[in-house]
Structure 1
Amino acid sequence: MKILYAIQGTGNGHLSRAKEVIPALLNRAQVDILISGTQAEVVLDYTINYRYKGLSFYFGKNGGIDFVKTLKNNNIFRIFSEIRKCPVKNYDLIINDFEPISAWACRLRGVKSISLSHQSILYTKNVPKPFHRDLLGSFIIKNYAKCAYNYGFHFKKYNNKVYTPIIRNNIRLLKRTEKDHFTVYLPAYSDKRIIDVLSRIKGVKWKVFSKEAKKYYQKKNVFVKPIDSEKFEKSLASCQGILCGAGFESPAEAIFLKKKLLVIPMKNQYEQHFNAKALEELGVPTLKSLKKKHISKIKTWIESNEKVELDFPNETQQIVDYILYEFIEKATISELETI
């Protein structure tokens, strides 16, 4: 069987998960890899067969998406050209992790693809949903990388198409300790905003991993470092708690490592509001934004000892095997019906 595994390259979460999914796929089939998007620091140690610019969203500096920069850096003619060139017909199966070029190529050519992502199951049964409605955000989640069949990941197994998070092997192997610092990863906020707020909380050591910083520097009790996967993992494993966006992978890894967690969902990023709602139901505190008026809430979190404890078993191979089995079964039934 020849599989095309298509991965979203905006943000680090999809590529981090791919590090575990790819070996499981390679155990069962020949696999080519496609990546679209340009906003990630994670590097895959595998041959990338197709690399497209795709349709990327760009972080701003005030807690949300920079729509001006997003529009400026996405060319609709280039996107259509990439969709047209994407060779989905050359494969027996397309597995998609929220990647739009292959997803739309499949839709336009009548090829059935399988989604294996976090976003694809947000509107399925029993998954917590935010109270407020966001029509554009909802449209993006449902149509950005729409596939014929959907499987995915969340903090709990809300239904039979949902699995618990895939935790990277190097995270599972980390030695968990508790030193004197708090780890911060808020890529949608400027360093200036982060420092302005967190430096007002005295007696706390903040280690900030920044998309802006080119080298290490310190402002008062805030230590700012460029993003480095290995250093971030070590900081996460040894911190007292983590303050981060309401993405999926970072909160999941924090919970796995039994770390205290505080999340801030990005503005105009509806998926993160789904995640924030789910985390709230699990007992994780959330903030609407990173502002001085929320300092008292941050202090309350620092002083609290409450942690969410969940079990995320290592079942990546079983998940891949089940999906492949279902695909083969559906394909066999379809062939028999044509006889």
Structure 2
Amino acid sequence: MNSTQSKIIIAPLNWGLGHASRCVPIINALISEKFIPIIASDGKALDFLKKEFPTLETLELPSYHIKYGKNIKWNLLKQLPTILKAVKKEKQLLEQFIGKNKDVVGVISDNRFGVRSNRVPSVYITHQTTVLSGFTTFITSKIHQNSIKKFNECWIPDTEDSLFSGKLSEFKKHKNQKFIGVLSRFKKEELEKSINILVLLSGPEPNRTFFEKKLMLAFKKDTRNIVFVLGKVEVHQKKWTEKNLTFYNYVLSEELEKLINASEIVVCRSGYSSIMDLAVLNKKVFFIPTKNQPEQEYLASYFKEKKVAPFCILEDFTSYKLEEVQNYSGLNSEETKLSSDLFSLF
């Protein structure tokens, strides 16, 4: 137990809200262990965590400006110089901050390469020690693994047997790797199933908007009770209805936990943070992976093969597809209690 109120910087990548949301249980665990978390990020991820933890100090980092359209690999390659520039800048900002704040005793980075320091122990969080990218998988994985080696520890949010991430986390040659269990900000609660279908939208633009428009069209004539959470973190939360459809621009963890617990079926991307959240809540789910994003396409196929959840591509989706869900077991996992031993590095 830390008794000196030491500070730890926790910095998730701003790519959708998945990296930020899975940092919520880590931030809560740090607070329980009497550390003072400092949230470092940018854009919607920073906005989201500011709303979740309004009393915590924040540090704004440069944006990686990750955007993708139809060809993700090509778009990311084009953006590489911008990303590398941001990595260099965030490293400078971090060192300046640690230099001025002597009570910072550690850094936890969720997929931000520049958020590490030689002055304090630095941890990297990822479920992808293998980065799938088609015929370039060996190269992208090697680059990522070399980056991971620069950190004191790599925390993998999964079970020791890679139950949820499959081959994404099966590269286990590094001594600094720790499997820390399924990370979720949620707790299972038995509520009346008042929502037939809960649609969770997420991810960077413009893909998030494509996703929203297609699903609104698919459910337009549906008579069931359907709730959309749009994943748009704005200044004020909004809620509105159109016939049988209810919309939220965004919801924070406590309210989202209730919505998911009260839903029969969840429709969402096959992003890893969503998978962990839904597993802890034991949900039936239909996945629509982001096209040309190998990680999501792999995870959707992986859970279909295991008869856990069906999926289809966005272009093929209709509301009738949800009938397939009854033939699958649904996601299921025990909630992970993060032990104080995890933070012994600091």
The worse-fitting range, judged by mean Cα deviation, of 85-94 and 243-252 is 85-94
CA distance in 2, matches of 1:213, 1:48: 19
Secondary structure of residue in 2 paired with 1:165: coil
Give the 5 Å matches for 1:143-222. Answer: 147-154=151-158, 157-158=161-162, 161-168=178-185, 171-172=186-187, 174-187=189-202, 188-190=207-209, 191-199=212-220, 202-211=222-231, 215-218=238-241, 221-222=244-245
CA distance in structure 2 between the partners assigned to 1:242 and 1:73 by the alignment: 37
Kept after mapping to 2: 8 A contact 1:209/1:225: yes
Query: By how many angstroms is 1:236 displaced?
Result: 1.1
Distance 1:39 1:134, change over 3 A: farther
Paired residue type of 2:115: S
1:143 Cα deviation from its structure 2 partner: 6.5
Q: How many residues align?
A: 306
Residue number among 297, 300, 313 corresponding to 1:276 in the alignment? 300
Output one character per residue of 1:303-329: Cα deviation in whole Å (capped at 9) or x when no partner.
Answer: x1633353323411x1xx33334x37x
In structure 1, the partner of 2:278 is: 254
Give the match's secondary structure for 2:114: helix
Residue by residue, what CA displacement relative to the aligned partner does 1:33-53 show, whole Å, maximum 9, x if unpaired? Answer: 241231333433242242213
Please, which runs of 5 or more residues in structure 1 have no aligned partner? 124-128, 329-339
Give the SS at the match of 1:235. Answer: helix
> Are the equivalent residues in 1 in contact too, given 2:90–2:114 (CA < 8 A)?
yes
- Displacement, 1:65? 9.3
**For 2:330 and 2:135, how far apart are their aligned partners in 1?**
27
Decide whether aligned partners of structure 1 residues 154 and 199 sit closer, same or farther in structure 2, where only a CA change above 3 A counts.
farther
Structure-1 separation of matches of 2:37 and 2:336? 24
Q: Secondary structure at the match of 2:197?
A: strand
The answer to which of 248-257 and 27-36 deviates more is 27-36
Long gaps (5+) in structure 2:
163-171
d(CA) in 2 for partners of 1:63, 1:172 = 37
In structure 1, distance between residues paired with 2:247 and 2:153 = 42
1:295 and 2:318 aligned: yes
TM value normalised by structure 1: 0.71
Mapped partners of 2:265, 2:39: distance in 1: 35
CA distance in 2, matches of 1:223, 1:63: 32
Q: C-alpha root-mean-square deviation of aligned residues, in Å? A: 4.0
Q: 1:245 to 1:78 in 2, by over 3 A?
A: closer
* Contact 1:7–1:96, Cα closer than 8 Å, also in 2: yes
Q: Match for 1:85 among 88, 93, 96?
A: 93
Query: % of aligned pairs identical?
Result: 17
Are the equivalent residues in 2 in contact too, given 1:206–1:222 (CA < 8 A)? Answer: yes
| AA of the residue aligned to 1:228 | V
